[in-house]
Structure 1
């Protein structure tokens, strides 16, 4: 079976990492499928970066088992089909984006015509037009785009990004987030950590919320919302009812169940009016994150 035929591209099974007496990662389990965007979210010190470093082979687990593309992270064959972006990604300031990316393509043995095509395509999509000026003159956002392009020069199957949009301006963040989704649509498997929960919610198929080195909740955001979140129904009527609030020429009541909505409908009918609109508000990922990380067990 070829690497591209493996549907589960990353497996993390009961992984633990200790630094002396500190247990930074505790029995973490999750998997990431081909073409999926999977997000690790959690507060600083939760164990996200340690987990990513174990997956890419920079740190050895104390216990547990990890595979990427069906291979152990220490296998050089795995690293040839992996793209990694650390949170802090220093560049060679005296080099230009073009020369810097060609240098890394040469390390992977990518033929120059193929490398130049990949470099141009990535920088075009990331909207980095300056390619022959030393990167030491670049802003943080421009440097981040070069680092992302570097992760793609070997055309990897799996991309592991640690805080890809950390500290970037809103426009650059939007470009990076949209590009992440496009990579998955092109068949790449993307695992990343992030603090910006809005963008995690907008781009991820599934997430794992990490707290104190453990996974507190994981799954599709809707699944986590159903388990940990709340739903609020804002019911608008054309007649005033008890405990309603006037909004223009209508009245609104907030309830938490469809049974309560039905009771409001009956009360409105009895008062000679009706329900004219119902708007649903569900917990955002940020609210779920705060709920899960504040709780004890899942």
Structure 2
């Protein structure tokens, strides 16, 4: 569905995206995550044909990303998506359907079907008088009026309450089940972990990890063992229930803690395995210098993206503040 090779965007000598390569399969939910200024928004805008790459290619189906014909098959949702607030949800969506030359009868059917699926109320109320969550649903509905094959969503759940956020994520899954391909960025790593089939992690304009969430965890994360004892051992910390906890990297170390506890007159009473989360991996990789990283394909990542952040065009922002 999408093939990206050597995609690069610079503004003068400012590198926003540095040599990205990745592919997205048809019907896949593909996540792009990273800290502030990682290059996520610029990457999505290049895929949508809104920003021209400095180097490299991005193909969407049979089209170059910059081909106007490709946009007829695309639904794009920016992070900040102002609406025409004097319109109602129905009139707003029909207006955009007219722009795509959707026949009136078909436009009405699509509009009502999409509003039903989004469980959107107050369809004839001015958009300026509805909640932020409802506005976001209308913006999502707008991205679907042309029945696109590809959806590119920049922070689709940004600023929404937990209930609406959960609904948006479930709706995204439903879109993929209906055969749509979805590429989206998110600063909440739980959203990515719960929805995406595959992920790329970006930092300073580079892709520093890629794969399914389990693959990224296995390659870049470390499983730890939390050993609880009734006696203090070297390196342990007291817990609120009167026990002691020591975190170790492997079962050999667990045995060493068991022996130390016995020597201190205690015993091991519990062992808990903790698998790394995507957030753990993200924090580790984003904080590691480029020369110390591996890009997920068995080679060190290039260090040429020093300071590589989304460039001046990224007015809708790359917010990853609560990824931590």
TM-score bracket relative to the smaller structure: 0.7 to 0.9
Establish whether residue 258 from structure 1 lines up as the match of residue 233 from structure 2. Answer: no
Partner secondary structure for residue 80 of structure 1: helix
Q: Which residue of 1 aligns with 2:159?
A: 167
Q: CA deviation at 1:99?
A: 0.8
83, 90, 96: which one pairs with 1:91?
Answer: 83
Q: Which residue of 1 aligns with 2:212?
A: 220
5+ residue gaps, structure 2:
294-324
TM-score, L = length of structure 1: 0.86
Checking the alignment, whether the CA contact within 8 Å between 2:233 and 2:261 is kept in structure 1 is no
Once the two structures are superposed, what CA deviation does each residue of 1:240-259 show, in whole Å capped at 9, x if it has no partner? 68457678698755322133
Determine the C-alpha separation between the residues in 2 that align with 1:117 and 1:282. Answer: 47
Q: Which residue of 1 aligns with 2:10?
A: 18
Q: Which residue of 1 aligns with 2:133?
A: 141
Determine the C-alpha separation between the residues in 1 that align with 2:232 and 2:80. Answer: 56
Question: What are the residue-to-residue correspondences of 1:117-156 with 2, within 5 Å?
Answer: 117-156=109-148
Partner secondary structure for residue 208 of structure 2: strand
Q: CA deviation at 1:117?
A: 2.7
Question: What are the residue-to-residue correspondences of 1:198-277 with 2, within 5 Å?
Answer: 198-235=190-227, 242=233, 253-261=246-254
Closer, same or farther: CA 43–246 of 1 in aligned 2, 3 Å: closer
Checking the alignment, whether the CA contact within 8 Å between 2:231 and 2:267 is kept in structure 1 is no
TM-score, L = length of structure 2: 0.80
CA RMSD of aligned residues (A): 2.5
Checking the alignment, whether the CA contact within 8 Å between 2:27 and 2:179 is kept in structure 1 is yes
Q: CA deviation at 1:92?
A: 1.0
Partner secondary structure for residue 63 of structure 2: coil
Partner secondary structure for residue 174 of structure 2: helix
- Worse overlay, 68-77 or 48-57: 68-77
Determine the C-alpha separation between the residues in 2 that align with 1:121 and 1:268. Answer: 64
Closer, same or farther: CA 262–187 of 1 in aligned 2, 3 Å: farther
Checking the alignment, whether the CA contact within 8 Å between 2:233 and 2:257 is kept in structure 1 is no
Q: CA deviation at 1:129?
A: 0.8
277, 280, 285: which one pairs with 2:273?
Answer: 280
Question: What are the residue-to-residue correspondences of 1:12-161 with 2, within 5 Å?
Answer: 12-161=4-153
Structure with more of its chain in strand, by fraction? 1
Determine the C-alpha separation between the residues in 2 that align with 1:236 and 1:256. Answer: 14
Q: Which residue of 1 aligns with 2:287?
A: 294
5+ residue gaps, structure 1:
1-8
Checking the alignment, whether the CA contact within 8 Å between 2:28 and 2:180 is kept in structure 1 is yes
Q: CA deviation at 1:77?
A: 2.8
